Structure 1
Amino acid sequence: MHKTVVPRLSGVHRFACLALYRALLRQCAKLPNTAPELDACKPLIQQKFHKYKRLQSPSQTLNALKAGYEAYDLLHSASAGNQHDVNRIISLISETRELKQRESEMQRALTKYKQLKQKPPSPREQRREASRRAQEQTALRHPDATPILSRPRPVVSGKRRVPVLVNARGVPFLRIKKPQPKNLSGVIRTKLEKRWSRIKRRERLHEDLHFSKDEDDWDSLTLGLEKDTFEQPIRDAISVVNNQIHETDEANRRLAEAMWNVVLAERKLAAEEQAKEKGEQTT
């Protein structure tokens, strides 16, 4: 079987292509300045080489090289003063520009047609887009937002929404409606990460406590009993962390009780408003 040769991985092929590329650029520099259209030769050659540099098909590579050598002959003749070839180059550049312009117009028309024929978004996509917009709008706290514990509101426009008390791994909050505001999610995440970091610190301190006991045992054997020990500072640090965790949990418990009272008050007002609305409808 014949060995498969990939042109762009061949050193001989790369040398030949680079030599042709440099020769074409040199001929572009020698073109006469009689027509401004000739200035487009160099960018056009660079664009074509960049476009075809990853060709792997031997037949396509052969056709591209043949076109390159023909272009070299044409540029060489034009740079020597052949007006016929100069006009031919100008004509080729004009045709290339017109073809590129037609392709751009066709592409714009095709894109516009696809947009007109595009299917309407599905209900799921509409919900996803609405959720994305809601997250963008609630990334920051609204400047006119009132504290949640200031509820219940004595008068509301429309039907009263009774909040739901939610426990997010120990962090309580009142959910008024979905989707959940992004700034609220950030506050909950920050509180949970802070509590978890304290728990991990407490675990590391318990590990260090075993090493401190060994150090104190060694000192008692070599130096006798000492007033200052390695164990006591670590026990003090563990006590501080435990107090911080306990205070945070206690604050969350008090907040949960206050929020539950808000829920009960909202339920009471909602029931009264519903009963009043039914009485007005019967009369």
Structure 2
Amino acid sequence: MHKVVVPSRSGIHRFACLALYRALLRQCSPIAAGDALWRGETESLIKQRFRRYKNLQSPSQVANALKSGYEALDLLDRASEGSQQDSGKLTAILAHTKTFKEQYAAKQRRMTELKLPKPVSPKQARKEQTMRFEQETSRKHPDALSILARPRSSLSGERKVPVLVNARGVPFLRIKKPQPRNLSGVIRTKLEKRWNRIVTRDRLHVELLFAKDEDAWDRLTNATEQSKWSEEVKLALDNVYEKIRETDRENRELAEKMWNVVLEERELAKKEQEQRQFEQLALQDKTD
């Protein structure tokens, strides 16, 4: 059984291809190429063809590509030596290649113009809808009522009972999804403020230990200080504790008010549902 040789992994094959590539580029150098009109186009064409054929695996295709490369090298060599026939042949090849590129580009432009727009996928449509909703709800509407102004006495459609949600200690009523962007910003701000106070509290606990050490040193050295080091730290610590407790108390009171709103909304929704069922039964009796 013959051993399968992958050209791209063969050192001999790579050496031959790189040698041919360097030789072709040398023929396109300003010294070797006397005609500067086709020098740049030839170099660009050589690089493009080598990039296109670098992944060839078929032995016959590799052999044909190398054969074409050596024929191009001979043609460039003769043209650089002043052969008018070979220079004309090289010019014709470059002109044909340029014309083919222009025709192909024009064909691609026509196909692009005739191509129907790609339909938007459901996932992309939902994503765009969410982005538009976030832009529309980035600021609070000037005529928006407080959430505690619910329940409303009358609605145009079916009443939707809000859900009380606890966002790490911050209560809010979710009416529907997606969540308004300004509401997310308010919740994030409250959580960051509470976390910063907790960080400050922990830092003051450490500073209180150092302050007590300073007071102990003052007692050992009989230093006469008007106030103790630990007093100011304790005052700051008590202040932070009071702010945290006050915020938690406000959130608890707000949660109780929101829960009362939910209960009232449930009661009204139940009554409205019974009223609709009664009207449907009355309509059926009337039609019968």
Q: TM-score, normalised by structure 1?
A: 0.70
Conserved in 1, the CA contact under 8 Å of 2:25 and 2:43?
no
Corresponding position of 1:24 = 28
Q: Is the 8 A contact 2:24 2:46 kept in 1?
A: no
- Partner of residue 206, structure 1: 205
Residues 8 and 53 in structure 1, CA contact (< 8 A), matched pair in contact too: no
Which residue is 1:167 aligned to?
Answer: 166
The answer to whether the 8 A contact 1:162-1:267 is kept is: yes
Which residues of 2 match residues 181-192 of structure 1 at below 5 A?
A: 181-192=180-191
> Does the 8 Å CA contact 1:30/1:79 hold for their aligned counterparts?
yes
For residues 174 and 147 of structure 2, the distance between their equivalents in structure 1, rounded to whole angstroms, comes to 10
| Preserved CA contact (<8 Å) 1:135 1:181 | no
Cα contact 2:27–2:80 (8 A) shared by 1: no
Moved more, 268-277 or 156-165: 268-277
- Residue of structure 1 in register with 2:131 after alignment: 136
Partner Cα separation in structure 2 for residue 277 and residue 28 of structure 1: 94
Query: What is the alpha-carbon distance in structure 2 between the residues aligned to residue 131 and residue 255 of structure 1?
Result: 33
1:81-230 correspondence runs (5 A): 81-93=82-94, 94-95=96-97, 98=100, 126=122, 129=124, 132-139=127-134, 140-141=138-139, 143=141, 146=144, 147-230=146-229
Change (3 A) 1:195 1:206: same
TM-score by length of structure 2 reads 0.69
Q: Which residue of 1 aligns with 2:4?
A: none
Secondary structure of the residue that 2:30 maps to in structure 1? Answer: helix
For residue 238 of structure 1, report the CA deviation from its aligned partner.
1.3
One-letter amino acid of the structure 1 residue matched with residue 132 of structure 2: Q
Note the residue ranges of structure 1 that are not aligned, 5 or more in a row. none
Judged with a 3 Å threshold, the aligned counterparts in structure 2 of structure 1 residues 6 and 79 are, in CA distance, closer, same or farther, namely: closer
Contact 2:27 2:33 in 1 (8 A): no
How far residue 268 of structure 1 moved from its aligned partner, in angstroms, is 2.9
1:68-87 alignment, distance < 5 Å: 70-87=71-88
| One-letter identity of the residue aligned with 1:89 | L
In the alignment of these two chains, the number of paired residues is 263
Structure 2: distance between partners of 1:61 and 1:212: 82
Q: CA deviation at 1:79?
A: 4.4
The CA deviation string for residues 2-58 of structure 1, in whole angstroms up to 9 with x for no partner, is xx9858999xx989965753442326863265xxx7763243234456x3798899x
CA shift in 2, pair 1:181/1:75, >3 Å: same
Any idea what the Cα deviations from partners look like across 1:104-143, whole Å, max 9, x if unmatched?
969x98xx99x99x9x97xxxx4x5565345313322463
CA gap 1:245/1:32 in 2 versus in 1, 3 angstroms: closer
Classify 1:202/1:257 alpha carbon distance in 2 versus 1 (closer, same or farther; 3 Å). Answer: same
The whole-number CA distance in structure 2 between the counterparts of 1:193 and 1:243 is 17
1:269 is matched with 268
* Structure-2 separation of matches of 1:53 and 1:227: 88
Work out the CA distance in 1 between the residues paired with 2:71 and 2:104: 26
Equivalent position amino acid for 1:143 in 2 = H
Q: Offset at 1:148?
A: 2.2
**Distance in 1 separating the partners of 2:11 and 2:182:** 56
List gaps (5 residues or longer) in structure 2.
1-8, 283-288
* Counterpart residue type for residue 198 of structure 1: R
Q: Confirm or deny: 8 A CA contact 1:138 1:183 kept in the other structure.
A: no
